[in-house]
């Protein structure tokens, strides 16, 4: 749980940095790259936090069941 708290703190810090720079003019190419990097990082982190849809979870369960069934059968390809 401590790592989750640290990740949330890291995200909130990067969100604050991104929010602070939104209204400010771009000063240099490096400044623009940093802002783009922060924006992409925030977008990626938001996607990671989204739950998987139920149909994807069902497919993953089916694949897991198939793997379990395959491992219990003798190998017929030898």
What pLDDT score was predicted for residue 75?
A: 61
What pLDDT score was predicted for residue 9?
A: 46
Buried b (16+ CB within 10 A) or exposed e, 25-46: eeeeeeeeeebeebeebbeeee
- Supply the pTM of this predicted model: 0.41
Distance CA 54, CA 60 (A): 10
How high is the mean pLDDT in each 10-residue block of the chain (78 residues)? 47 48 77 94 95 95 87 62
């Amino acid at each position: 749980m401590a790592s989750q708290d640290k990740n949330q703190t890291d995200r909130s810090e990067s969100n604050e940095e991104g929010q602070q720079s939104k209204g400010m003019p771009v000063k240099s190419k490096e400044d623009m790259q940093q802002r783009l990097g922060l924006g992409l990082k925030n977008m990626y982190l938001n996607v990671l936090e989204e739950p998987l849809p139920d149909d994807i979870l069902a497919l993953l369960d089916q694949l897991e069941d198939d793997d379990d069934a395959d491992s219990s059968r003798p190998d017929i390809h030898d």
